[in-house]
Chain A
Amino acid sequence: MLVFRKPLENIERPQMPADVVIVGGGPAGMACALRLSQLIDEHNSKNRDSRLSKENIYVLEKSREVGQHCLSGALLDPRSMRELLPGFEKEAPLDAEVNKEAVYFLTEKGKFKFPITPPPLRDHGNYVISLNRFVKWLGSKVEETGITIFTGFAGSELLFDGARVIGVRTDDKGVDKQNQPKSNFEPGYDLHAKVVILAEGTRGSLTKQLIAKFDLAKDSNPQTYGQGIKELWEVPSGRVAPGEVIYTMGWPLTTKEYGGAWIYGGNDNIVSLGFVTGLDYPDPRLDPQRVLQDFKQHPFVASLLEGGKMIRYGAKSLPYGGWWAIPPVAGDGWMILGDSAGFLNSQRLKGIHLAIKSGMLAAETAFEALKKHDFSAATLSGFQKKVESSWIKDELWKVRNFHQGFEHGFFAGLFHAGIQQFTGGRGLRNRYAGTAGHQHMKKLAELPADGGNEAHLLGPAKGDGKLTFDKLTDLYHSGTKHEEDQPAHLVIHDTNICNTRCVKEFGSPCQNFCPANVYEMVDDAEQPNGKRISLNPSNCVHCKTCDIADPYQIITWVPPEGGGGPNYDGM
């Protein structure tokens, strides 16, 4: 019997007052904390009589150590970092400046190189980084300024007073599989904050709670997502130079799926490679982890990796929807940053610089609110205005219809992207509508039984143990670890749907889209279809794909006990 995680009820919780609570210590949250600290320091040096305190500004981070849940390609566009910390290049952990780039279209065995690199994919001046190391460094800057980062603590739910957000409840620790306190039980804290800043990453669980409560997405396009599967490789020298960037489109995807791959050369013969598959593919049997394995078997890619060793694995979802899918980002007592809001340029495949910039702008607004002692929507909506008058909007406005153009396949997408390129992002109309990705998923009955043109993409990867890996082997390299004796944090609101409908209609796609083998249909003679949903929550890598892609939208991802999760060292 599955029991799902839920904050315990009718217990007394420690209460703690706070000025600002930032939920999530990624690039957005850390940039926000750092900028806020800078502004306060500057203020205090000029206003000795009305000093502001940093003591009650906190960052909650669910990973055991700062940066351990941060994963990205990653290329860093340095624009926002130069604003945040001029000269940051001298001390930040950067692998290499991009010095060589190429874009290929792959067929099953062949490749076509684009004669020129399309402007959005030109990366000269950007840096190849490990986001994990970069955020660790940024986190150390934050801690140096005297702001406390609570690692190992997750935001488990928002606290409300009417239409106002008044704080965050952290995760209950020491709760067993049946959601009962164990001998080491520690109730979550209620942090009563003047302002809560949500920087949880893609599909943040508190952000989801907030959006649902106030119906914030009603005027936006539905957010659409991609799932990035990444492997870090150590290869024989001379294969991919530090600072070399390769993008590919095409194989193994067909024209019906959206996505592509990256290969970045880092230092010490480390190569980052990965595949992003749009979570709006039609065939429920598709497995994005398999897509990456197929990609590596392409002769071009295999030749780069041969004789090398896979050293880490991870997965992350990313928001593709663009400008029209961003909900309001500020209200009474709250602001939303980075991937949680959807600040990502899907044409350039970059979001880190926007996450950082959004964190800085939110910090400026929070600073004004602290000075005025006013945390109402009237003051915090200053953040909304700052975003709209900043280069965040300039950049996203130009690509506002980009992803929607691809909703009807690759060729239609290229057509729309072409027109948009010449009309400042407009294309055929100012605002293209969008459809939530899960609505593109087709039922098995509507698809060819053998998979048709997609056949090569479907089903789990086998893996040869050298170039390709089955999912469990890949998963081992994510280093993910959780306390086993805790309730399932993948909250399925109605498991009957899994056991009676989904298994028949879609063939249980959770088993395929989850990159961590969390979902499993086990034999159960008592079920009408002979199968029953079973969960392996301790495998989870916190990518949120299940919350996004499940066709019935009955899965809610909530944070497991703080401290659990992947170990993305060097990712």
Chain B
Amino acid sequence: MPDTILVTVEQREGKLNRVSWETLTAGQALAAETGWTLEAAVVGSGVANFANEVAAKKVSKVYAVESPKLEPYTPDAFSAALKQFIESKQPKLVLLPHTYQVRDFVPKLATAMGRTAITDCIGYKKEGGKLLFTRQMFQGKLAADVSFTCDAPWFVTFQNGAFRGDKAEAGASAAPVETVNVQIADGVIRNKPQEVFKEAKQAVDLTQAEIIVSVGRGIKEQKNIELAKQLAEALGGELAASRPICDSGWLPMDRQIGSSGQTVAPKLYLALGISGAIQHIVGMKGSRTIIAINKDSEAPIFEIADYAVVGNLFDIVPPLIEEVKKAKAGS
């Protein structure tokens, strides 16, 4: 019986991850080069339809590796399921897309089987009967060809974009699909999945704000940030800060204005206790109207301010909030 290449495709939230097609392309190319048989597997609960989708491609066979315990995804369940399945089928080579999910469970799976994984590959070579997998080093400056010295099965993951998913060949006829039910014993799954969340890229988009109230060192203490926040709320604007404030952790980094933060150009920029170092100015000088409050009349912020208020912000801001509220109530 010839050796087998097993491509494990990824499904998530009712969709095949498109990177899976790339891995399938890689599998087809490797199968052509080695003469090995190409098979594919989909892991999950109720994944027969995905298996059928994959079966339309040029593969010998597709397995739906099933267990109700595979939904929702946990690294414990996935590695247990695949370990069982791989041990029974004994493929030579297991190919997976280098996705977050795969990164999560493959090290565990390979270790559980006493094997190594070559991850995040961008290609492969066959040299003297030996398969070499290419990985990038030094941020892409060098490429290293890595081979397995351990026994099969060999685990390889391919980087997103390494192969073309649209080049995955369709089969002459649909490949047979076999459902394999795996048993996952009680107590195997120790992970408790929480709700999936996406880290917001930018929790707040200051570049879209029309009014920004920005605080600098003159705010003195973390608790005084509240004062600026009240003013921002009264004006219906966003709160921002100069670097020292964010560096001290008083406000999150995504609210930092300046050369190492965001560049903004709101209609109104209210600078509270900001001296106006050039590093800050470059991030806000395009603002239509700049009002600066600072007790140091020499502060460079006044050079670009349209309205300069020399005074203690703690004397000025509280009545200002009241006036803004009054004016808004009146309008």
Contacts and interface: CB of A to CB of B under 8 A. Distances in A.
B141 A150 contact: yes
Contact of A153 (B138, B243, B277): B138
B253 interface: yes
Chain A interface residue bracket vs B: 10 to 19
Nearest to B247: A536
Contacts of A475: 279
A493 B30 CA distance: 54
Nearest to A152: B139
Contact of B277 (A186, A465, A472): A472
Given A472-B279, A473-B277, A476-B259, A485 B142 contact: no
Contacts of A14: 137
B183 interface: no
Contact of B137 (A16, A536, A538): A16
A538 B279 CA distance: 12
Interface in A436-485: 465, 472-473, 475-476, 481, 484-485
Contact of B278 (A150, A186, A473, A485): A473
B279 A476 contact: yes
A536 B246 CA distance: 12
A433 B138 CA distance: 45
Contacts, number: 34
B181 interface: no
B108 to A, nearest CB: 15
Nearest to B217: A522
Interface string A126-150: 0000000000000000000000101
B17 interface: no
A268 B103 CA distance: 55
Interface string B125-153: 00000000000011101101000000000
A476 B278 contact: yes
B284 to A, nearest CB: 14
A189 B137 contact: yes
A509 to B, nearest CB: 21
A69 B139 CA distance: 20
A189 to B, nearest CB: 7
Contacts of B260: 481, 484, 538
Contacts of B142: 148
Chain B interface residue bracket vs A: 10 to 19
Contacts of A472: 277-279
A96 to B, nearest CB: 31
Contacts of A152: 139
Nearest to A477: B278
Nearest to B280: A472
A325 to B, nearest CB: 35
A465 B300 CA distance: 10
Contacts of B303: 465
Contacts of B253: 484-485
Q: Which of A186, A465, A472 has the most CB of B within 10 A?
A: A472
Interface string A274-302: 00000000000000000000000000000
A16 B253 CA distance: 37
Contacts of B243: 536
A448 B15 CA distance: 77
B74 to A, nearest CB: 20
B118 to A, nearest CB: 12
A484 B142 CA distance: 27
A225 B48 CA distance: 73
A148 B141 contact: yes
A465 B276 CA distance: 13
Interface string B269-285: 00000000111001000
A485 B277 CA distance: 21
Contacts of A186: 139
A476 B247 CA distance: 18
A54 to B, nearest CB: 14
Contacts of A476: 259, 277-279, 282
B124 to A, nearest CB: 19
Interface string A148-190: 1010110000000000000000000000000000000010010
A189 B278 contact: no
B145 to A, nearest CB: 13
A420 to B, nearest CB: 45
Contacts of A473: 277-278
A435 B259 CA distance: 41
A314 B137 CA distance: 32
B186 to A, nearest CB: 33
Contacts of B279: 472, 475-476
10 contacts: A14-B137, A16-B137, A152-B139, A472-B277, A472-B278, A476-B278, A476-B279, A481-B259, A485-B253, A538-B260
When A and B form their complex, which 4 residue pairs have the shortest distance between CB atoms, in order from nearest? A472-B277, A476-B278, A473-B278, A150-B138
Interface of A: 14, 16, 148, 150, 152-153, 186, 189, 465, 472-473, 475-476, 481, 484-485, 536, 538
Given A148-B142, A481-B260, 20 more contacts: A14-B137, A152-B139, A153-B138, A186-B139, A189-B137, A189-B138, A465-B300, A472-B277, A472-B278, A473-B278, A475-B279, A476-B277, A476-B278, A476-B282, A481-B259, A484-B247, A484-B253, A484-B260, A485-B253, A536-B247
